[in-house]
A = this chain, B = another copy of it.
Amino acid sequence: MGKKAVIVLSGGLDSTTCMGLAQAEGYELYPLTFDYGQRHDREVEQAKAIAHHYEVKEHRIVDIGFLNQIGGSALTEDSISVPTEEEEGIPTTYVPARNLIFLSLAAAYAEVIEAEAVYTGVSAVDYSGYPDCRPQFISHLEETICRATKAGEEGRPIRLVTPLIHLSKGETIREGLRLHVPYHLTTSCYQGGEVACGVCDSCRLRRKGFADAEAIDPIPYVDGVKAGG
């Protein structure tokens, strides 16, 4: 039996790049996708297509619509509008402790399937002001997980692998293209339409990334302009 890695797969650029990187490290891929009733339902469909592309044995999709019951974010509460302008500080799309919650669940799943690593595509460079995308947070959480699990207890601590943490979006894309990551299957737009809006925070970051990588973004945009190239 090969060594296993859980990949937190959102259907976006970064998590899909993690699929390519974990595969290159020789891991059997166990993508885990969170379906949390957020605006971009498209992400789940794209995540399925990406999992299929990588011919994974199992793709767990976990319904975490209950995050709406906790509230506090533009991505989960319909009453707060999605921002289209650059914001100062921590954005309104902030879901409290989102990575803490997602990575805790990923660690639980890793323990169940006896995976030795959890890959997450967080980046401290283009982290958009989220506190839980930083190296200090990740290393603290890794230690906390070690103390929370039977695996850690028994001397097989689950590693949190963050290969993109020091990469800009452009560097991530360059790395992904080298590994033939299927970027045409990824989605980034906060609006979640069939065609990317091109103006939300996430679209702007993606387009800048492709421009920096001097590559063509294979997905369509509302304005018809191809990013990068």
Query: Using a CB–CB distance below 8 Å, which chain A residues touch chain B?
Result: 60-64, 66-67, 69-72, 90, 94-101, 104-105, 107-109, 111-112, 131-132, 134, 136-137, 140-141, 143-145, 147-150, 152-153
Q: Which residues of B contact A152 (CB under 8 A)?
A: 131
Is B150 within 8 A of A96, CB to CB? yes
Is B71 within 8 A of A112, CB to CB? yes
Is B140 within 8 A of A144, CB to CB? yes
- Name 9 A/B residue pairs within 8 A (Cβ), A-sorted: A64-B66, A94-B150, A96-B149, A97-B145, A101-B101, A131-B147, A131-B149, A134-B147, A140-B143
Total copies of this chain within the assembly = 2
Q: Which residues of B contact A137 (CB under 8 A)?
A: 144, 147-148
Is A108 within 8 A of B95, CB to CB? yes
User: Of B61, B99, B107, which contacts A100 at CB under 8 A?
Assistant: B107
Q: Which residue of B lies closest to A107 (CB)?
A: B97
Is B108 within 8 A of A70, CB to CB? yes
A162 CB to closest chain B CB, in angstroms?
14
Q: Which residues of B contact A144 (CB under 8 A)?
A: 100, 137, 140-141, 143-144
User: Of B61, B107, B132, which contacts A147 at CB under 8 A?
Assistant: B132
* Bound: A162/B177 CA distance, A: 49
Q: Which residues of B contact A62 (CB under 8 A)?
A: 66, 69-70
Is B147 within 8 A of A109, CB to CB? no
* Bound: A111/B152 CA distance, A: 29
Q: Which residue of B lies closest to A131 (CB)?
A: B153
